[in-house]
Chain A
């Protein structure tokens, strides 16, 4: 079983500031971390590997310092990692990114065929969730999004059973292998990595590929050139006004809430506007 997990280095958006004048992210204001959803993706790969055996590779695209997220993935339990890093990739939107990553995946699979690709649901700095499905489309394998459980992996008969999150409940599906999963956070808890993993990761040197190391690449589809997306405007959501806390017994609270709703009919309008 060869599982490849795509990971991204992102600024920690819990801390990051937005420059109020230019409305751009002030990346210096926050440390770079492994995208939290991707950490769950690596953890899920480790869980699957513990049952089926095999190899976990991680793949990332980014500047040279993004090797840090590959090392972090090795801490969680990945066996090896690849970073594609080149000026040619810079400025890529989700279309160009998924193209570059799919080319790297093709190269990885030549060495060792890939049975499963796992991605995080989305990156916390862009929130698009497009790269995973974009890769699947390019590799012509099924994309399975919003995964909350991998119930069964059968590598002999090449299928997986998956639970997908839905608005009401979940959906159980079977898919062929290889396929691509994008996972939700609730799929697992990140385990506290064993010390030997930490030592392996400290020692591990990820494999770095430039654009010339990839094969059959159409350079016009890479980086800024290959990115049709235009960011029109960026803004921080307006600060929410402090609410009112209802206190007392449940009955009293319900009473107070009713009063508020009767007084402030505009609060109810939101709902009617949607329906």
Chain B
């Protein structure tokens, strides 16, 4: 007779593990199923872990979690072919407790986090693929895995099976996602000695920097690149929507190679040794793509529910928060002994009342706008570089005259009205 649990969580990433942790902590009998060799073995992200949502689950986690560096500086680059306009912020208040965010290597961090859930009493099994939910009378009652005697039952099944969630698709919660709703990101971990990293990035001790790179990093396509500092390695990666990649016939590895060889980036990587190559899809459909998240005996969390804010590169924090909200709903449902959609909709209400859906709603048209109107990445970023170059080049022209020339060159190219329209459109998309 297959075993019955209170909760089966599919996927031991940040969303699933956070849900399993909170359920187990509340005394529920939890089975956490991971398809990879160990939690984190299949997971990819640029590498920024936000403090707040993790701290809500495990207070003062930074004292024991395998973190790389606390981020004290965030830089933004508007890059052209042979130039870059930079701005950013560095503050030492981020170098002390409680910190703001950290760089992490997911293969290590996810293992640690899953171990924490195990310590709370969750049962973790790896190398096991859930092939489908077992549905009876319109209610999810368990899962079927690819193993012999592979069925297990539960009051609630939590789908944390990541972007493209096949399981929630099988349940009819969402259609196949379109290429403009997902981004393909490729990244490399490049080993570099700690002192070299500190010198090149102007850092002290374990302080870390993140650089987000727009413009020529994606050859002007909708997307971003990143360069993050770990203890003794760098994470460098680049991603664009799948639709842009198809349209521009970009090959992801060629794009990463282009970025690594870019004259603005190259000096940072010099002499580094490539240690790992990773690629993953990221759900970036935003608000409009969020699927149904609750059903009879089932909840959907994290990437599986498309909970990623691409503009602010937030995802793992939303995953954790959604996992925790799901756990709270399950604990309440358990008290009532009612695992119907109506009861589990507590999760949906919590999710839609939180920063997660509010933030996704704020930017609901941003990606669409920038994809439809490529001039922001393709034209304005180079213009910005040219303007800065002109303004700071000392050639005897009065500064006022320079300003006029810059304005003229911008409007001459596109017409004043067009420029005003573009500015308004961009503002509307992110306001």
State the A residues within 8 Å of B (CB). 31, 192-196, 198-199, 201-203
- Considering the complex, give the chain B residue whose CB is closest to the CB of A203: B123
Q: A199-B31, A199-B123, A203-B123 are in contact. Are A194 and B148 (CB under 8 A)?
A: yes
Instruction: Verify A195–B124 contact, CB threshold 8 A.
Output: no
Is B151 interfacial (CB 8 A cutoff)? yes
A25, B138: Cα distance in complex, Å: 55
Q: Collect the chain A residues with CB atoms within 8 Å of residue B128's CB.
A: 195, 198
- What separation, in Å, do the CA atoms of A199 and B148 have in the docked complex? 13
Q: Tell me which residues from 138 to 176 in chain B have a Cβ below 8 Å from any Cβ of chain A.
A: 145-152
Q: Are B123 and A194 in contact (CB under 8 A)?
A: no
B38 to A, closest residue via Cβ: A31
A-side interface mostly: helix
Other A-B pairs beyond A192-B148, A195-B147, A201-B125, 19, CB < 8 Å: A31-B38, A192-B146, A192-B147, A193-B147, A194-B147, A194-B150, A195-B2, A195-B148, A195-B149, A196-B3, A198-B125, A198-B147, A199-B31, A199-B123, A199-B125, A199-B152, A202-B123, A202-B125, A203-B123
Q: Shortest CB–CB separation between residue B1 and chain A, in angstroms?
A: 10
Q: Interface on B for A, CB 8 Å cutoff?
A: 2-3, 31, 38, 118, 123-125, 128, 145-152
Q: How far is A193 from B146 in the complex, measured between Cα atoms in Å?
A: 10
- Closest 7 pairs (CB-CB, A-B): A202-B123, A194-B148, A198-B125, A195-B147, A194-B149, A195-B150, A202-B125
Q: How far is the CA of A199 from the CA of B3 in the complex (A)?
A: 9
Instruction: Choose from A31, A192, A196, A202 the contact partner of B124 (Cβ within 8 Å).
Output: A202
CA distance A218 to B3 in the complex (A): 46
Chain A nearest CB: distance from B16 CB in Å? 15
Number of A-B contacts (CB under 8 A): 37
Nearest CB in chain B to that of A191: its residue: B148
Q: Look across to chain A and name the residue whose beta carbon is closest to the beta carbon of B148.
A: A194
Return chain B residues, CB-CB under 8 Å to A198.
125, 128, 147
CA distance A195 to B131 in the complex (A): 13
Minimum C-beta distance from A10 to chain B (A): 16
A192–B149 alpha-carbon span in the complex (Å): 11
Contact between B31 and A196 (Cβ–Cβ < 8 Å)? no
Q: Which residues of A contact B147 (CB under 8 A)?
A: 192-195, 198
Chain B residues closer than 8 Å to A31, beta-carbon distance: 38
Show 10 residue pairs from A and B whose CB-CB distance is below 8 angstroms, ordered by the A residue.
A192-B146, A193-B147, A194-B149, A195-B2, A195-B149, A195-B152, A196-B3, A198-B147, A199-B152, A202-B124
Given the complex, which residues of A lie within 8 Å of B3, measured CB to CB?
196, 199
What is the bound-complex CA distance between A192 and B148, given in angstroms? 7
Q: Which of A192, A194, A199 has the most CB of B within 10 A?
A: A199
Q: Which residue of B is nearest A33, CB measured?
A: B37
Give the distance to chain A from B14, nearest Cβ to Cβ, in Å.
20
Bound-state CA distance A106–B324 (Å) is 49
List residues of chain B with CB within 8 A of the CB of A195: 2, 125, 128, 145, 147-152
Considering the chains assembled together, what is the distance between the CA atoms of A193 and B123 in angstroms? 16
> In the bound complex, what is the Cα–Cα distance between A198 and B125 (angstroms)?
6
Q: Which residue of B is nearest A68, CB measured?
A: B38
The distance from the CB of A259 to the nearest CB of chain B, in whole angstroms, is 40
In the complex the two chains form, what is the Cα distance from A198 to B2 in whole Å?
12
A193: which B residues are within 8 A, CB to CB?
147-148
Q: Nearest Cβ in chain A — how far from B391, in angstroms?
A: 50
Contacts of B2 in A (CB 8 A): 195-196
Q: Which residues from chain B contact A194 at a C-beta distance below 8 Å?
A: 147-150
Task: Report B123 CB to chain A, min CB distance, Å.
Answer: 4
| Distance in Å: Cβ of B277 to nearest Cβ of chain A | 15
Give chain B nearest CB distance to A76 CB in angstroms. Answer: 12
Residue of B nearest to A202 (CB): B123
Chain A residue with the shortest CB-CB distance to B145: A195
Please indicate the chain B residues that have their CB under 8 angstroms from the CB of A201 in the complex: 125
In the complex formed, the residue of A with least CB distance to B126 is A198
Taken together as a complex, chains A and B put the C-alpha atoms of A203 and B122 apart, in Å, by 9
Query: How far is it, in angstroms, between the C-alpha of A179 and the C-alpha of B30 when the chains are bound?
Result: 42
B125 → A minimal CB distance (Å):
4
**Complex formed: what's the CA distance from A202 to B147 in Å?**
15
Tell me the minimal C-beta distance from A124 to chain B in angstroms.
17
**Can you name the residue of chain B whose Cβ is closest to the Cβ of A29?**
B275
State how many angstroms separate the Cβ of A203 from the closest Cβ of chain B.
Answer: 6
Question: Chain B residues near A196 (CB, 8 Å)?
Answer: 2-3, 149
